[in-house]
Chains A and B, each alone.
Chain A
Amino acid sequence: MTLQVPASETAGPASETRRRPRPLGAGPGSPEIPAAPPRRRRRPERFTRLLFVAPAALYILAFFGYPIVKNLTMSLQEYTTKTFFTGEAPWVGFANYVSVFTSSLFTPALWNTALFTIGSIAGQFVIGLALAVFFRRRFPLNGFLRSMLLLPWLLPMIVSSATWRSILDQDSGILNRFLGSIGLTDAPIGWLTDPSVALIAVIMVNIWVGIPFNVALLYGGLQDIPEELYEAGALDGATGWKAFWHITVPNLRPVISVVLVLGVVYTLKVLDVILGLTNGGPANATQTLAVRSYQESFVNFEFGIGSAWSNILILVSLIFAVIYLRANRRAVDE
């Protein structure tokens, strides 16, 4: 069964299609479709095609198009709590963007977003790839351990961030106790209380969250590399690291590009990890574009300014989404 309707078959039920749309829009008095046989055949066909597109198009319009347009218009309005009752949202031009760009948090938030994204992706990818390669070997409990790796994915973020908060606690957290007992640190580290360390702590937790995603995709990609390549390589002396660099990496490249770009888009918008761990603090040390957007909208109820923040975030994500689509197209073309 294909999704496209063969042209020869449309002739039969064409009259059916023509009659059926009436209740949807056309009144009983509207002119009938012209009688010329060739057009008569083509029109219903086009209509049928439209029908196939309609569900997806409606879905995208309702759940992506409308929110994005609304977000754009909202960022040009003074949209506050009053708006919800009166429905009045005066146009203010680019005033919201001006207050975003002149905010003393703009540069730190942008910088933190970049550091958070780069740090998280680098950590997730390297550890994820290492684990994926490791699980390629056959050993007892392989399947069990691999499914255990998905655990961070299965836990609700609110639960895992509460757990991490207690692990990272400065006074009684298990991490500081451990580091102290093996003599690595003299004084307990303020993972979530020291502004110079908090971002690192948040990145660490986000790496933990992201590893399953990386392992799952990279492991899948590894399965597609034929074993013969390694056998042939081994005959020519390519084993270990050499095999990894010259066989695994080139063959995995399409998957790697997808993992990295999707990872960037997913990481840019991370909100729950930061809200759960530090709420943007201490002293705004973990403010990112996503956190600013959330706090302006849902803490300060300045929805106009909040949507201006989020539009900047959308723009950044969009750039990476375009990169992803292009990379993907190339992969399909190959």
Chain B
Amino acid sequence: MEKKHRLTVLASLALVPLALSGCSAGGSGGGASSDADTLSVVDYYVNDPDQGLVVAALDKCAAELKVKLNRTGVPGKDLIQKVLQMSSSKTLPDVLMLDNPDLQEIASSGGLTPLSQFNVDTSGFAQGILDAATYKGEVYGLAPTVNTLGLFVNKAMLDEAGLAIPTTWDELKTTAQALSSGDRYGLAFSSIATYEGSWQFLPFLWTNGGSEDKLDSPEAAEALQLQVDLVNSGAASKSVINWSQADVKDQFMAGKAAMMINGPWQIPALNADPSLTWTSVQVPINRAGQTPTAPLGGEVWTVPQTGNKEKQAKAAKFVECITDDDNQLSLAESRFTVPTKTALAAEYVQKVPDMAAFTEQVANARSRTGILGEDWPKAATVMYTGIQLALTGKESATDAFSKAKAG
């Protein structure tokens, strides 16, 4: 009996190292694989239709380059944590997809390889996305397609009220007010206390000539005042401070918002409801002469520092392939995003007229990390905190950002 006991203890002791090594083996799931013809890929497309469309494009490039793919999909909010974990255990994949505002942060840690090392041609790409993918003068990633924000309008509701699509902030306020009745609001947008809220504020900030590095400027206060006015007048719900962009889309689709600020990735959902008639335009401007300027969204494909020169070269070829003209057009068309090569814009709009406003918007769009680089997250935190302070009435629009910055 007693002997058996000790055996059990010894056996369980013997299992400890096994279990530990089991953990580390499991952790390297997305890591660079040893097989020379296999590239490991990590991205955050885990939901269809995006997943299916992106995987199809990846497979096509794999066939072209005659390599096998070992792809891992990580949910968007876990991707950076996963990347950090992979970089500390030296198991970064051969090809890594990053959301564009995260690129400089990861590049600054030394985890990525400049694409110039592999003579990747970066000409012809829109300047905004190159800015996002550049750290200390080197381009670290390329995006096949990008997205941005615009104003979606429920045509039926607008026609019923006999109103025109707003093009200025004043028109936006009066139109939204006129469209609010019962449990319907004129406009929906996301001012949630995450980076999503900051991203949705940027079109107003930038269009008005404000900048993320000068949030105490009168231009920034004016942009914030617009959101405050919309909420206080009842043209937008007080709940905007808790809405994600998906919530905003749900409100719009349920007919509880006549207009919304949102991105083209919502178009497949909008099109799924045939009774909904909508159109999209560029974000309204404050004063005549201003250019509607919205932030650039989208994912860049990068080549991490894995130490395997031969595979890195192959990975760079793969990044080139996934961002070539054919893939840009097919991905843009199927995912309602905009090709990053400016020369493709005209051809694309002809194919997908729904995307005309967004394609135009992208031409002037800016990257979030263009000015501040790796300091963007700090500014974004100040931004969404200030928005929340102003929309809940705790601070005036003039003081909100400086109060948020002091925190």
Taking Cβ atoms with an 8 Å cutoff, the residues of A that contact B are: 1, 5, 9, 13, 16-17, 20, 24, 48, 51-52, 54-55, 58, 81-87, 103-105, 165, 169-172, 190, 192-195, 278-285, 298-301
Contacts and interface: CB of A to CB of B under 8 A. Distances in A.
B190 to A, nearest CB: 12
A104 B407 contact: yes
B242 A192 contact: yes
Interface string B195-218: 000000000000000000000000
B136 interface: no
B226 interface: no
Contact of B105 (A81, A280, A283): A81
Nearest to B111: A85
26 contacts: A1-B1, A5-B2, A13-B6, A17-B6, A20-B10, A51-B10, A55-B13, A82-B110, A84-B88, A85-B109, A105-B407, A170-B237, A170-B239, A171-B237, A172-B183, A192-B239, A193-B242, A195-B394, A278-B242, A282-B241, A283-B241, A283-B389, A283-B394, A284-B407, A299-B381, A301-B80
B68 interface: no
B392 interface: yes
Contact of B388 (A13, A83, A170, A284): A284
A283 B88 contact: no
Given A84-B84, A283-B388, 8 more contacts: A13-B6, A16-B3, A81-B105, A170-B237, A281-B192, A281-B242, A283-B391, A299-B194
A51 B9 contact: yes
B304 to A, nearest CB: 9
B271 to A, nearest CB: 25
B12 A55 contact: yes
B193 A280 contact: yes
A54 B13 contact: yes
3 smallest CB-CB distances across A and B, nearest first, come from A281-B193, A84-B84, A104-B407
A113 to B, nearest CB: 17
Contacts of B392: 193-195, 282-283, 285
B391 to A, nearest CB: 8
Nearest to B197: A281
Nearest to B240: A193
Contacts of A165: 242
A54 B109 contact: no
A193 B109 contact: no
A141 B162 CA distance: 60
Contact of B194 (A13, A54, A279): A279
A279 B192 contact: yes
Contact of B109 (A86, A104, A279): A86
A31 B199 CA distance: 70
B16 interface: yes
A83 to B, nearest CB: 8
B406 interface: yes
